[in-house]
Amino acid sequence: MQRLTLTSSRRVRTINLDAFGNFDLRKLLCLSTSHLSAATKRFLMSHDQKEWLTVGGPFGNTGWIFHVDEDAAFNFGNRRFNDLWRSFAYAADRGYELILFDDVEEPMRDLAVY
- The reply to whether 111 falls in a domain is no
Q: Is the pLDDT of residue 78 over 70?
A: no
Per-residue pLDDT at 8? 47
Question: Which residue range is the domain that position 73 belongs to?
Answer: 27-102
- Asked if 27 and 13 count as a contact pair (C-beta separation under 8 A), the reply is yes
Domains held by the chain: number: 1
- The reply to whether 22 falls in a domain is no
Q: How far, in Å, are 41, 68, 72 from residue 53 at the CA level? A: 13, 11, 9
**pTM to 2 decimals?**
0.75
- The reply to whether 110 falls in a domain is no
pLDDT band at 71 (very low <50, low <70, confident <90, very high): confident
Long-range pairs, 64-70, Cβ under 8 A, ≥24: 64/33, 64/100, 64/101, 65/98, 65/99, 65/100, 65/101, 66/98, 66/99, 66/101, 67/97, 67/98, 68/92, 68/96, 68/97, 68/98, 68/99
- The reply to whether 58 falls in a domain is yes
- The reply to whether 45 falls in a domain is yes
Per-residue pLDDT at 63? 93
- The reply to whether 97 falls in a domain is yes
| Lowest pLDDT segment from 19-23, 37-41, 45-49, 87-91 | 19-23
- The reply to whether 6 falls in a domain is no
- The reply to whether 66 falls in a domain is yes
